[in-house]
Structure 1
């Protein structure tokens, strides 16, 4: 059977439903591209029509489409080879000058929020260079705008596609039913729209599933349970260790905002609280298998292997269980780094040095305060400011916020914090009318003698300069390092 989401994908922007302002902004961006030559980021939840809008735009403009996936082509050399080459290409129409579209190609780069600096070996910076130097219009598609690096965000325009309301979904479902010659009860379409409120693609999929066996659709044909879009880590542990089948557990794993690496650690930490005996032995076998696949990911940077790790850690561990289990279990947070004590000590030392506190006071009073303010990296701008002010790496940010060290969220926060510090240092070097050179530093050392500025004081000066710079950076929505002064 033909997938209805593809069969009825809008062929023109005017047919894109539920995001009229965003749709019009995208059309205006394309019509004026020769004037500004900027890339655009189209972001929003899955299923709201981002990809459909990009392809419909190309059709409206008479542009060819080149589609790439950022998560499959992550490293700097691959991104520059594929995306960079595509952004420079001239089309056959363009080479002949036979139309008034300028022979444009629309480069559509999906999952642009899945590239994170050092984690992807320069992929984020390479993509930033590509969009700044492109000779063709580029549309970046992303679910989470702030999971993209700050430099990449600043190099592009931004258009947000919001969740499609149930009121906007119903006319689409009604039109599909008429084209497919399906009789329907109005309440049935209303129910599908309500269950999938915000996600048009899922609504169309549910409509096709409900109408597959009959050409007449009633309320009774529509599933009554709400769609569970995302899953927190503790319900996930319950699902895998106590309740769900292997197939259901794998689907649950894809709804959790954690990497397979961190999910493996969560399960390894807590499986002994639920399993014992042969169950436990079988579960450990599957976790070991997941760890082998994760090792292959680290060795090859081939993230397609993540799916096999997910199958083993979720499906395998669930299949190791003898039936369902009940009751409530207190699950523990795993240690995300092998040397968590040294990480904690390093964070405490940096905070104590910056604030002039004792180590004991920092550990007992200041650190819990920072953890409460930035729990799970929210608010994000405050977490970026904290990471920049104290110069924290991924392990340190994870320790303070309680988030997994290898999550995209933490990595993007550290990348943005580093950019914030570097910009502040550049401004600080020009504070006295010129660049502060190595020779200047040597001269200062000679003149200061025994009274030279201690290293910790110099670090505080840099942090103050960083705070001033961050306050001026209002356009990016960062609250600035002054929050931690």
Structure 2
């Protein structure tokens, strides 16, 4: 059976459901591209129709599409070869009358917020240069707008696709059933829509699963357990500060792919945009309580205290509200964020590669663990070891420990970590140092430069091995060294 999400993918913008304003804004961007010549970022939760809208737009405009998916490795070279060439050229097609006409190429880059560290070396910078210099329209697709670099955000327009409501999903499911000749109970389609509220693509997938081997879909055919999906950060902020009560807010907090520490910062930054007066005072009281529990986590390394922080930052802040709030609010990234996105992403990528875990595991579980273990660079020996294992510079050590990047303490830790790594490399170099071994008398009488050159050559060889994709360095330190 063909994948219904592909079979019924919109072929024109008029078929895109649930985001009429965003859809119209995207069309206006395309129609006026010659005037502004800017790229656009289409962002929102997975499954809301961002990529489908981009391809439907190309069909409406009569443009060819060139697609580069972010799941591929995206170094600067790959981007320039795959998307850069198309973005810099204007193609000419022969017309029926024998003349020529200019044909646009729409460059579509999916998961533009998913460029991390060494794996995508130079990728973020290459994309920023691309959108600034492109001779063709570019659509960047992203789940989290604020996971993109500030430079890239400043160089583009942005259009947000909101979660698709169950009310908008049901007509789509109904049309699919009619096209497939499948009878249905309205309650069954409603249930599928509610299970997947926000995610149209998942709703169509669940519909296809329920219809497998059947010519009719009834309520009992629909799986009643909700899908395990992460909640979008901005949807979470709406739930807590505008829409739901304490219990629902706490439940939603556990489905957000962020730590309680980060959630507290996001709410503290944005709650004055929604609350005022007594509501705001009560909300800050609960945020202060959340911060106290987070402090206990740092002091005791007992992560069970996180739930008390979550109760306050989500349930407490929601309870501080006198009623529901309407309208749309532009939520800002916390002003006093510990470090730049690039620093965090580089750290997470290094941890994931070194420990052989996913980016999500490295960010949600391992990075907070390291932050707790080395808070304010204590104990110092452990902080030095961590900096050596992950090859951290001053910015990296500052991010993990919370200490100032320019302090003597952080700079001395980085220097000691470099010495530790050099000693580790030498101890595993084996016969490479045989020619450099001398007696104390030979060291005094011999040429120090020869020994130094040999050590430099060994270091250069080690650096070359560590940069190779196929290297297998058994001497590489890892997270197990903390045991």
Native 8 Å contact 1:25 1:159 kept in 2: yes
The verdict on how the C-alpha distance between 1:119 and 1:153 changes in structure 2, with shifts beyond 3 A counting, is farther
Q: Which residue of 1 aligns with 2:108?
A: 108
User: In the superposition, relative to structure 1, how do residues 101 and 342 fare at CA in structure 2: closer, same or farther (>3 Å)?
Assistant: farther
CA distance in 1, matches of 2:51, 2:202: 14
Are the counterparts in 2 of residues 68 and 109 from structure 1 also a CA contact under 8 Å?
Answer: yes
Q: Which residue does the alignment assign to 2:55?
A: 55
- The one of 319, 340, 343 equivalent to 2:374 is 340
Matched, 1:146 2:180: no
User: How much does 1:75 deviate?
Assistant: 1.9
Aligned to 1:13: 13
Within 1, Cα distance between the matches of 2:97 and 2:129? 28
Q: 1:345 to 1:133 in 2, by over 3 A?
A: farther
- Matching residue within 393, 396, 406 for 2:395: 393
Aligned to 2:67: 67
- Alpha-carbon distance in 1 for matches of 2:164, 2:156: 24
Residues 94 and 103 in structure 1, CA contact (< 8 A), matched pair in contact too: no
1:166 matched to 2:162: no
Counterparts of 1:273-352 in structure 2, within 5 Å, are 335-336=369-370, 340=374, 343=377
Structure 2 residue ranges without an equivalent (≥5): 233-254, 259-300, 303-345, 381-392, 404-483
Distance 1:219 1:303, change over 3 A: farther
Which residue number corresponds to residue 192 of structure 1?
192
* Displacement after TM superposition at 1:115 (Å): 1.6
CA change 1:178–1:333 in 2 (3 A) is same
Question: CA 1:345/1:392 → structure 2, altered by over 3 Å: closer, same or farther?
Answer: farther
Distance 1:140 1:14 in 2: 21
Q: CA deviation at 1:147?
A: 0.1
**3-state DSSP of counterpart to 1:70:** coil
Is the 8 Å Cα contact of residues 93 and 100 (structure 2) preserved in structure 1? no
- Give CA-to-partner distance per residue, 1:251-270, whole Å, 9 cap, x none: xxxx9949xxxxxxxxxx99
Question: What is the SS of the residue equivalent to 2:10?
Answer: coil
Give 2:210's aligned residue: 210
Contact 2:27 2:57 in 1 (8 A): yes
**SS of the residue 2:17 aligns to:** coil
Aligned to 2:79: 79
The answer (yes or no) to whether the contact 1:128–1:155 under 8 Å persists in 2 is: yes
Q: Distance in 1 between matches of 2:43 and 2:136?
A: 20
Aligned to 2:155: 155
Deviation digits for residues 159-214 of structure 1, max 9, x if unmatched? Answer: 00000000000000000000000000000000000000000000000000000121
Task: Tell me which residue corresponds to 1:227.
Answer: 227
Does structure 1 residue 39 correspond to structure 2 residue 21?
A: no
Larger mean Cα displacement after TM superposition, 49-58 or 221-230: 221-230
Q: Which residue of 1 aligns with 2:285?
A: none
Q: 2:374·2:400 contact (CA, 8 Å) conserved in 1?
A: no
In the alignment, the residues of structure 2 paired with residue 94 and residue 133 of structure 1 have an alpha-carbon distance, to the nearest angstrom, of 26
> Quick one: distance in 1 between partners of 2:46 and 2:354?
20
The alpha-carbon distance between structure 1 residues 332 and 215, as it changes in their structure 2 partners (threshold 3 A), is same
Relative to 1, partners in 2 of residues 1:304 and 1:119: Cα closer, same or farther, differing over 3 Å? closer
Contact 1:116 1:148 in 2 (8 A): no
Tell me whether 83-92 or 21-30 shows the greater mean CA deviation. Answer: 83-92
DSSP 3-state at the match of 1:206 = helix
Contact 2:169 2:203 in 1 (8 A): yes
Q: Quote the offset at 1:102 in angstroms.
A: 2.9
CA-CA distance at 1:120 after TM superposition: 3.2
For 1:177, what is the secondary structure of its paired residue? Answer: helix
Q: CA deviation at 1:89?
A: 2.9
Correspondence list, 1:365-384, <5 A:
none
CA distance in 2, matches of 1:207, 1:333: 38
Q: CA deviation at 1:400?
A: 4.2
Q: Secondary structure at the match of 1:208?
A: helix
Mapped contact 1:117–1:125 kept (Cα < 8 A): no
The 1:192/1:125 distance shift into structure 2, 3 A limit, reads: same
CA distance in 2 between counterparts of 1:66 and 1:104 reads 11
2:113 is paired with a residue whose SS is helix
RMSD of aligned C-alpha atoms?
4.1
Q: Is the 8 A contact 1:10 1:16 kept in 2?
A: yes
Counterpart in 2 of 1:374? none
Aligned partners of 2:94 and 2:37: how far apart in 1?
17
Residues 437-470 of structure 1: CA deviation (Å, up to 9, x unaligned) = xxxxxxxxxxxxxxxxxxxxxxxxxxxxxxxxxx
1:71–1:115 contact (8 Å) kept in structure 2: no
**C-alpha contact (below 8 Å) 1:337/1:395 kept by paired residues:** no
Q: How many residues align?
A: 280
Distance 1:341 1:189, change over 3 A: closer
- Give the distance between the partners of 1:197 and 1:28, measured in 2 at CA: 28
Within-5 A mapping of 1:402-481: none
**Secondary structure at the counterpart of residue 65 of structure 2:** strand
Cα gap change, 1:92/1:344 in structure 2, threshold over 3 Å: closer, same or farther? farther
